[in-house]
């Protein structure tokens, strides 16, 4: 049976009346076997996972070993292209010593899976995956104990240490004909174990599955169009919704005339709370109907636009939060022979997944089922329940595949909208945001201004570093370079000030893109002034940091870096940083067309130390994705707006990376298989802006201080250089 069919079958087993069961009953219904619920409480290992498990009933996850020998992992994580559907079973199979092919995974279903805070922040492998490995290791210990009892005879009493497991078959180390399978061990049993002990996971040398590349297991579903996303659900009697939207964020509706829409056969107007929607059994007609609705609005003004926003952020950044301080800036200034002061700007950008926010909802009696393109099934379940005034036990989120998230689907207002409409109309409803809605209601990466003042001493060493961050997030703000006198402040607006004209949120490698662009640009600004090679200048300030030194050197070697004073004319650029526990450096080689300002990145080398690598190919693919997606924020992406009105509406004016941008990409993974795994889906993206800005300087002598590095800005900088 195909993997997908097995999952469907497994799910259908308890679909008859899933609402009547509590978790334990549900486990029984799965047909017996060993169910391992785990709540490993080693906080150092699990961090936030353990804390949340405590809060939400003591369980991080569970897995079932069925009497057919299949192992099923139930997880609240979702698959949005980053690969846990492939890598989590790999981790499980390895720790449990079963064949990878015998592992099934059920994801993101709030009824079947235990609580999970969401799929973001590169937590799936480094936190959740570690917890799951620990649980699997414990499960194996339990099974070995059971096997020892089964395989013992009157004259030979066995202990687990005498046993081995190969592909789910437990046997004597000395005689593999005396054996019993996991399946037979769990036959006819209904055991619920909760493991809380100290986990002992495999060392790298013992791993059989982890560390070896696997193709994505969902590939066939995706290349045949069978993979189901939330907008692919079709329910009997389902209606398509469009919502009346304001012309700008925060606008208040003064009046509405829906008569034009109502005149169309089959159109219904639905009001729920502040929301007015049209629904129809055909999406086409819902689209026509919405265009006939006339509404008047009172718009809010904020007197900001995409040009003056950067000053606005500085002016309002009056709440100072010190992130790091060391030595004395005054002393640093005294020791400086060259001083630098530079302001860096980063605009609002959108997540722009190709799948817009989408949800399908249906009430079955009291119970609400929602399929939503989302990164956070559990928090979304809570949001929906609260908005509808129903208990969260009556809301079931279920979604496996999400068409890209990047942080943009941590918040899912579309799920609440569709649920409200389903509640009001008692009909199944599907809501797919248009691309224009996607831009307008996205939680954008916040715009930020960064002001860095620094000084070099007579030896060309950094004597002081004063980093003032306005409005951006703190991830990646403090520097890892060894600088004797330094200060990093985050300057935020007071709570009662609406700083941003739009909703803002986490964008892949949140704020670390912004901080790394500023820090790494400034590093090379100083390197050039000191007359030093950009790589050497960094290494000079990393003498005590072996990990970053190694990452930089490995990348430089792959890239073929040779020392030179910038600008060397070669178009080489470097940036490095730390994100989600991973140390990363990116080296690029670019061409700049000085007549048009066009930049072509020819080559990118990513070097990273991310601890244990579970699926090397999966990691390489994520790094490639980071390079390509990162070129978007680096070169073109920028939201245009006036007051709270979004001028960016579709891909014609918001240019994301295209085929022709694709550089040759090489990825170097530092071997650290015995270290805990760190993030893989985000780190490399943080370096792209800085690396390309530095390469533009190296190619032309022109330095840019504002992302994206558009042709117009490049031409302007060239004119000044």
Partner 1 sequence: MIETIQLELNGTPTKLEIDPSTILMWALRNELGLTGTKFGCGLGFCGSCTILLDDEPVRSCMLAVSDAAGKKLTTIEGLAKNGELHPVQKAFIKNDAQQCGYCTPGMILNAVGLLLKNPEPSRKEVIEGMEENLCRCGTYGRIIESIQMAGIEMKGGVKI
Q: With CB cut-offs between 5 and 8 Å by kind, which of ligand FES, partner 1, none does residue 659 bind?
A: partner 1
CA distances (Å), 399 to each of 233, 510, 667, 699, in order?
A: 10, 25, 32, 47
Q: What minimum distance in Å lies between the beta carbon of 376 and ligand FES? A: 19
User: Which residues are 104's β-sheet partners?
Assistant: 72
Q: Kindly tell me which of 63 and 621 has the beta carbon lying closer to partner 1.
A: 621
> How many Cβ atoms from other residues are within 10 Å of residue 493's Cβ?
18
Q: With CB cut-offs between 5 and 8 Å by kind, which of ligand FES, partner 1, none does residue 650 bind?
A: partner 1
Looking at the chain, how many residues does it have? 721
For residue 56 the two structure tokens come to: 């939400």
Q: Kindly tell me which of 40 and 440 has the beta carbon lying closer to partner 1.
A: 440
Q: What minimum distance in Å lies between the beta carbon of 404 and ligand FES? A: 5
Q: Kindly tell me which of 406 and 470 has the beta carbon lying closer to ligand FES.
A: 406
Q: What minimum distance in Å lies between the beta carbon of 435 and ligand FES? A: 8
Count CA within 13 A, CB hemisphere, residue 196: 7
Per-residue interface string for the shown chain with partner 1, residues 560-599, x marking contact by CB under 8 A:
----------------------------------------
Q: What minimum distance in Å lies between the beta carbon of 121 and ligand FES? A: 19
Q: Kindly tell me which of 84 and 566 has the beta carbon lying closer to ligand FES.
A: 84
Whole-number Å distance between alpha carbons of 309 and 128:
39
Per-residue interface string for the shown chain with partner 1, residues 618-657, x marking contact by CB under 8 A:
---x--xxxxxx--------------------xxx---xx
When asked if residue 231 is in the footprint of ligand FES (CB under 6 A), the reply is: no
Q: What minimum distance in Å lies between the beta carbon of 80 and ligand FES? A: 8
CA dihedral 250, 255, 258, 260 (to 10 degrees): -110
Q: Angle 166-168-169 (CA atoms, 0-180°, nearest 5)?
A: 65
Per-residue interface string for the shown chain with ligand FES, residues 176-215, x marking contact by CB under 6 A:
----------------------------------------
Residue among 149, 159, 219, 647 that touches partner 1 (CB under 8 A)? 219
Three state DSSP letters for 96-149: HCCCHHHEEEEECECCCCCCCCCCCCCHHHHHHHHHHHHHHHHHHHHHHHHHHH
Q: With CB cut-offs between 5 and 8 Å by kind, which of partner 1, ligand FES, none does residue 240 bind?
A: partner 1
Residue among 661, 701, 711, 718 that touches partner 1 (CB under 8 A)? 661
Q: Which stretch binds partner 1 (CB under 8 A): 231-239, 258-266, 524-532, 695-703?
A: 231-239
Residue 491 three-state SS? strand
Within 635-716, strands assigned E span: 641-642, 645-646, 664-669
- Could you say which residues in the range 393-412 bind partner 1, by CB under 8 A? 401-406
CA dihedral 619, 620, 622, 627 (to 10 degrees): 150
When asked if residue 355 is in the footprint of partner 1 (CB under 8 A), the reply is: yes
Q: What minimum distance in Å lies between the beta carbon of 575 and partner 1? A: 18
Q: What minimum distance in Å lies between the beta carbon of 695 and partner 1? A: 19
Looking only at the bridges linking them, the beta strands covering 645-646 and 572-579 are: unpaired
Looking only at the bridges linking them, the beta strands covering 485-492 and 462-470 are: parallel
Q: Kindly tell me which of 391 and 659 has the beta carbon lying closer to ligand FES.
A: 659
Whole-number Å distance between alpha carbons of 416 and 546:
48
Q: What minimum distance in Å lies between the beta carbon of 355 and partner 1? A: 5
Whole-number Å distance between alpha carbons of 508 and 354:
15
- Could you say which residues in the range 309-348 bind ligand FES, by CB under 6 A? none
Residue among 356, 512, 694, 707 that touches partner 1 (CB under 8 A)? 356
Q: Tell me the site size for partner 1, rule CB under 8 A.
A: 59
Residue among 156, 226, 259, 308 that touches partner 1 (CB under 8 A)? 226
Buried b / exposed e over 244-267, threshold 16 CB at 10 Å, is: bbbebbbbeeeeeebeebeeeeeb
When asked if residue 93 is in the footprint of partner 1 (CB under 8 A), the reply is: no
Q: Kindly tell me which of 56 and 649 has the beta carbon lying closer to ligand FES.
A: 649
Residue 663 three-state SS? coil
When asked if residue 81 is in the footprint of ligand FES (CB under 6 A), the reply is: yes
When asked if residue 679 is in the footprint of partner 1 (CB under 8 A), the reply is: no
Q: What minimum distance in Å lies between the beta carbon of 427 and ligand FES? A: 26
* Phi, psi of 706, rounded to the nearest 5 degrees: -135, 130
Per-residue interface string for the shown chain with partner 1, residues 261-300, x marking contact by CB under 8 A:
---------------------xxx----------------
Q: With CB cut-offs between 5 and 8 Å by kind, which of ligand FES, partner 1, none does residue 533 bind?
A: none
Q: Kindly tell me which of 81 and 83 has the beta carbon lying closer to ligand FES.
A: 81
When asked if residue 212 is in the footprint of partner 1 (CB under 8 A), the reply is: no
Q: With CB cut-offs between 5 and 8 Å by kind, which of ligand FES, partner 1, none does residue 621 bind?
A: partner 1
When asked if residue 375 is in the footprint of partner 1 (CB under 8 A), the reply is: no
Residue 295 three-state SS? strand
Q: Tell me the site size for ligand FES, rule CB under 6 A.
A: 3
Residue among 266, 301, 658, 671 that touches partner 1 (CB under 8 A)? 658
- Residue 471's nearest CA partner among 446, 497, 442 is 446
- Could you say which residues in the range 349-388 bind ligand FES, by CB under 6 A? 354
Residue 409 three-state SS? coil
Q: With CB cut-offs between 5 and 8 Å by kind, which of ligand FES, partner 1, none does residue 251 bind?
A: none
Whole-number Å distance between alpha carbons of 455 and 463:
5
- Residue 96's nearest CA partner among 198, 211, 209, 214 is 209
Residue among 354, 458, 497, 647 that touches partner 1 (CB under 8 A)? 354
DSSP-derived secondary structure for 622-641 = HHHHHHHHHHHHHHT----E
Residue 430 three-state SS? strand
Q: What minimum distance in Å lies between the beta carbon of 314 and partner 1? A: 32
Sorted by sequence, the CB contacts under 8 Å of residue 97 that are 6+ apart come out as 140, 165, 166, 167, 168, 208
Q: What minimum distance in Å lies between the beta carbon of 659 and partner 1? A: 5
* Phi, psi of 340, rounded to the nearest 5 degrees: -135, 140
Whole-number Å distance between alpha carbons of 453 and 461:
14
When asked if residue 527 is in the footprint of partner 1 (CB under 8 A), the reply is: no
- Residue 464's nearest CA partner among 616, 568, 325 is 325
Count CA within 13 A, CB hemisphere, residue 153: 5
Q: What minimum distance in Å lies between the beta carbon of 631 and ligand FES? A: 15
Q: Kindly tell me which of 407 and 455 has the beta carbon lying closer to partner 1.
A: 407
Q: Kindly tell me which of 251 and 656 has the beta carbon lying closer to partner 1.
A: 656
Residue 384 three-state SS? helix
Residue among 83, 108, 404, 407 that touches ligand FES (CB under 6 A)? 404
CA distances (Å), 433 to each of 32, 230, 282, 372, 437, in order?
A: 42, 12, 15, 12, 6
Residues that bind partner 1 (CB under 8 A): 80-83, 215-216, 218-229, 231-232, 234, 240, 282-284, 352-356, 401-406, 432, 434-435, 617, 621, 624-629, 650-652, 656-662, 664-665
Residues that bind ligand FES (CB under 6 A): 81, 354, 404
């Amino acid at each position: 049976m195909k993997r997908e069919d097995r999952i469907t079958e497994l799910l259908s087993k308890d679909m008859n009346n899933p609402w009547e069961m509590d978790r334990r009953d549900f486990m029984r219904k799965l047909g017996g076997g060993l169910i391992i619920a785990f709540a490993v409480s080693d906080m150092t290992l699990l961090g936030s996972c353990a804390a949340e498990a405590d809060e939400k009933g003591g369980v991080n996850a569970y897995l079932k070993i069925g009497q057919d020998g299949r192992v099923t992992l139930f997880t609240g994580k979702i698959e949005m292209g980053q690969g846990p559907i492939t890598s989590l079973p790999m981790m499980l199979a390895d720790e449990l010593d079963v064949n990878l092919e015998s592992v099934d995974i059920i994801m993101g279903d709030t009824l079947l899976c235990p609580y999970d805070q969401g799929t973001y922040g590169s937590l799936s492998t480094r936190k959740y995956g570690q917890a799951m490995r620990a649980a699997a290791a414990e499960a194996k210990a339990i099974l070995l104990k059971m096997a020892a009892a089964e395989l013992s005879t009157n004259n030979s009493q066995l202990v687990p240490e005498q046993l081995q497991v190969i592909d789910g078959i437990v046997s004597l180390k000395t005689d593999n004909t005396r054996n019993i399978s996991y399946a037979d061990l769990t036959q006819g049993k209904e055991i619920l174990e909760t493991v809380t002990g100290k986990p002992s996971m495999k060392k790298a040398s013992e791993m059989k599955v982890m560390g070896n590349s696997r193709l994505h297991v969902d590939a066939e579903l995706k290349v045949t169009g069978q993979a189901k996303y939330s907008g692919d659900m079709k329910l009997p009697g389902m209606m398509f919704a469009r919502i009346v939207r304001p012309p700008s964020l925060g606008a208040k509706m003064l009046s509405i005339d829906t008569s034009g829409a109502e005149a169309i056969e089959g159109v219904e107007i639905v009001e729920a709370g502040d929301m007015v929607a049209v629904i129809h059994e055909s999406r086409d007609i819902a689209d026509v109907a919405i265009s006939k609705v006339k509404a008047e609005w009172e718009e809010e003004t904020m007197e900001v636009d995409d040009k003056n926003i950067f000053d606005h952020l500085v002016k309002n950044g009056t709440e100072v939060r010190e992130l790091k301080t060391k030595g004395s800036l005054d002393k640093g200034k005294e020791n400086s022979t060259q001083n630098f002061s530079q302001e860096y700007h980063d605009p609002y950008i959108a997540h722009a997944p190709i799948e817009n926010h989408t949800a399908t909802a249906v009430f079955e009696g009291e119970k609400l089922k929602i399929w939503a393109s989302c990164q956070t099934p559990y928090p979304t379940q809570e949001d929906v329940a609260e908005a509808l005034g129903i208990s969260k036990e009556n809301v079931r989120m279920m979604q496996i595949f999400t068409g890209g998230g990047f942080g943009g689907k941590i918040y899912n207002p579309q799920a609440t909208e569709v649920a409200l409409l389903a509640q009001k109309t008692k009909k199944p409803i599907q809501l797919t945001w248009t691309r224009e809605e996607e831009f307008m209601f996205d939680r954008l990466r916040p715009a930020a201004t960064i002001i860095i003042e620094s000084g070099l001493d007579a030896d060309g060493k950094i004597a002081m570093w004063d980093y003032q961050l306005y409005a951006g997030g703190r991830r990646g703000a403090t520097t890892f370079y060894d600088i004797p006198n330094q200060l990093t402040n985050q300057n935020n607006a007071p709570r009662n000030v609406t700083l941003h004209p739009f909703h803002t949120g986490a964008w892949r490698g949140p704020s670390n893109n912004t901080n790394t662009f500023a820090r790494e640009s400034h590093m090379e600004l100083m390197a050039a002034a000191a007359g030093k090679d950009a790589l050497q200048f960094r290494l000079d300030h990393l003498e005590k940091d072996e990990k970053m030194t190694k990452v930089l050197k490995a990348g430089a070697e792959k890239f073929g870096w040779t020392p030179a004073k910038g600008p060397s004319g070669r178009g080489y650029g470097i940036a490095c940083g730390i994100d989600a526990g991973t140390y990363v450096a990116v080296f690029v080689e670019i061409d700049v067309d000085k007549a048009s300002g066009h930049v072509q990145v020819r080559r990118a080398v990513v070097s990273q130390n991310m601890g244990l690598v579970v699926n090397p190919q999966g990691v390489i693919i994520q790094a490639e994705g980071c390079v390509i997606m990162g070129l978007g924020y680096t070169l073109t992406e920028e939201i245009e707006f006036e007051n709270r009105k979004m001028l960016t509406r579709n891909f014609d004016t918001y240019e994301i990376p295209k085929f022709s941008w694709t550089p040759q990409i090489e990825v170097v993974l530092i071997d650290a298989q015995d270290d805990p795994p760190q993030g893989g889906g985000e780190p490399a993206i943080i370096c792209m802006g800085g690396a390309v800005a530095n390469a533009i300087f190296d190619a032309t002598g022109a330095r840019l201080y504002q992302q994206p590095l558009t042709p117009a800005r490049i031409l302007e900088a060239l004119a000044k250089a």
